[in-house]
Amino acid sequence: MDKNRNWVSIESEGDEKYAKELEVAVKAVHVACLLCQKVQQNLIFNGDEDSVQSKDDSSPVTIADWSVQATVSWILSQAFGTENVSIVAEEDIESLSKSDASSILSSVVKTVNEALSSAARFGIKPPVTHLQTTQVLQAISRCNSRGGPTGRFWVLDPVDGTLGFVRGDQYAIALALVENGEVVLGVLGCPNYPMNKEWLNYQNGYRRILSSLTKPDPAGWDSNGCVLYAKKGSKKAWMQPLVNGDKGIGSASQIKVSTIDNPVLATFCEPVEKANSSHLFTQGLAHSVGLRNQPLRVYSMVKYAAIARGDAEIFMKFARAGYKEKIWDHAAGVVIIEEAGGIVTDAGGRPLDFSKGMYLYGLDRGIIACAGPSLHQKIMTAVDASWNSSCL
């Protein structure tokens, strides 16, 4: 069997609906992961600070953000036809098109072409000739869908957790497909998420040292990075090691959420930054339900991956007043956790609604993801009991 199609042998059991979409999405995310690894390495080890810019809200955006968006947009358009691909994504070309951005734009074009040139190992046919600047800008600007309750659109966060990315820490590439308001498949690329759970609390640089000292696993499961994916209704979620060297996509392994349903034994995840989430409330809530383990604070949708993989049991996010949750920060992670056996709702127990455009309007207080319904109910009960005394 073609090594680039190993994952299909698992996923093709049963319903074939969305099979091609999932295959293309998984390959596109693998390509994006390799792209990000190269950019991050150049940023961390060569001090390429010019590759980082600030958006109007002061949040960072990098060469990787724009390059991944262009690369994934191009791959999806080639697979399904430009006229059939609608994408909701985080970045636009406004700042990239300014006269003083010529250097970073040139770097984006170069990065995209390098990524697409190496895509053949995943069974993706690269462009006949290198993409020109206008073609790269067109690929980025095609991601201009506003979402909504009808039709089909992709949801892309090219680099979720950009702050973690620029700090050499955790980040994710998140791609999901939404049809008539429902997320039908999701793919999460986590380039710095170690396959070995025990390495998770080490800084990324130290993990690389550990990995280099460990006897290589022929199947690739010693790799420092993984790609997770799931299809709605399959009741299965999968994980692959991130590609190494010239290898193609490795074989997939089914993942399941943890069986722990006692809050005392559970580990909870929360955002690293306090800007859009209240650590004080989640800490108080953790104390009230008896959580003893240290919280797992990681950037990006890696938190969703941790729960889907069974490395943690709870993710709670209660945003400060005025903050609007974006659909690209949750879509892929939600479907992967659910198909791995977990549950994700707002604090009132309602499923997250991806049918209202670019934002998750109508959330009841916050978001709670858990390894199972029993644990989820206990956390919701604790939220209800603590909410009136909170400062949110």
Q: Which fold is adopted by the domain 3-255?
A: Fructose-1,6-Bisphosphatase; Chain A, domain 1 (3.30.540)
| Predicted TM-score of the model (pTM) | 0.89
- pLDDT greater than 70 at residue 202: no
Burial of 199 (0-12, 13-18, 19+ CB in 10 A): middle
Residue 55: which pLDDT band, with cuts at 50, 70 and 90? low
Q: For 285-306, what is each residue's pLDDT tens digit? A: 777 777 767 777 788 999 999 9
Looking at domain 263-387, its CATH class is: alpha beta
State pLDDT tens for residues 82-131: 999 999 998 888 888 887 888 999 999 999 999 999 999 899 999 999 99
Q: Is 2 annotated as a binding residue?
A: no
Strands, E assignment, 169-279: 172-179, 182-190, 226-231, 237-241, 253-255, 268-270
Q: What is the pLDDT of residues 61-86, one digit of tens each?
A: 889 999 999 999 999 999 999 999 99
Strands 296-297 and 268-270 turn out to be parallel
CB neighbours (10 Å) of residue 364?
14
Mean of all residue pLDDT scores within the chain: 84
**Catalytic pick among 111, 162, 282, 345:** 162
134: left (phi over 0), alpha (psi -120 to 50) or beta: alpha
Residue 143 reports pLDDT greater than 70: yes
Is 384 tagged catalytic? no
Of the residues 65, 169, 311, 346, which is catalytic?
Answer: 65
Q: Is 160 annotated as a binding residue?
A: yes
Which of the two residues, 164 and 60, has the higher pLDDT score?
164
Q: Is there a binding annotation on residue 15?
A: no
The pLDDT assigned to 12 comes to: 43
Q: Which of the given ranges, 49-53, 206-210, 256-260, has the highest pLDDT on average?
A: 256-260
Q: Does 100 show up as a binding residue in the annotation?
A: no
Query: Which is more confidently placed, 137 or 5?
Result: 137
Percent of the chain with pLDDT over 70: 79
State residue 47's pLDDT score. Answer: 63
Q: Clarify whether 65 is annotated catalytic.
A: yes
Query: Domain boundaries in the chain?
Result: 3-255, 263-387
Please check whether the two domains, 3-255 and 263-387, share a CATH topology.
no
